[in-house]
């Protein structure tokens, strides 16, 4: 199962997120759930880097299926909108597969 944890502060502002695990929906290289989640996560990070001035630390571990993105400071409105879009897409995947392959968690840090 893929677990995506969205980190927010007490003011409900994004601090970062972590995506970890493998969906297990299909064989390696043909898992559409894993591919869908990966596209949303990676595109969001790329979009933040390309379209905003926000800085974040990104760590990855392909074997563990880990991608973590932590902001250096409060994200801009543009970055927050990109993150809202990512969360919306992840919620739809989670709903479609009834929490079997993806679990989305929002955690206050």
Q: What is the pLDDT of residues 40-98, one digit of tens each?
A: 999 999 999 999 999 999 999 988 889 999 999 999 999 999 999 999 999 999 999 98
Helices (H), ranges, 8-74: 32-51
DSSP summary character for residue 65: T
The helix (run of H) or strand (run of E) holding residue 28 is none
DSSP summary character for residue 24: -
| Mean predicted confidence (pLDDT) in 5-29 | 95
Whole-number pLDDT of residue 32:
95
Q: What is the pTM of this model?
A: 0.94
Q: Which domains does the chain have, with CATH numbers?
A: 2-108 (3.30.70.1490)
Whole-number pLDDT of residue 99:
83
Q: Whole-angstrom Cα distance, residue 67 to residue 53?
A: 20
CA 16 → CA 7, 95, 96, 102, distances in Å? 5, 22, 24, 18
Residues facing residue 32 across a β-bridge: none
């Amino acid at each position: 199962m893929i677990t995506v944890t969205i980190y927010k502060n007490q003011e409900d502002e994004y601090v970062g997120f972590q995506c970890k695990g493998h969906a297990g929906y299909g064989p390696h290289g043909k898992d559409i759930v894993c591919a869908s989640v990966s596209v949303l996560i990676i595109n969001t990070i790329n979009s933040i880097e390309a379209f905003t001035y926000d800085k974040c630390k990104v760590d990855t571990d392909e074997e563990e299926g880990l991608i973590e993105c932590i902001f250096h400071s409060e994200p801009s409105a543009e970055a927050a909108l990109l993150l809202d879009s990512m969360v919306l897409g992840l919620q739809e995947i989670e709903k479609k597969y009834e929490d079997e392959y993806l679990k989305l968690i929002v955690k206050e840090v």
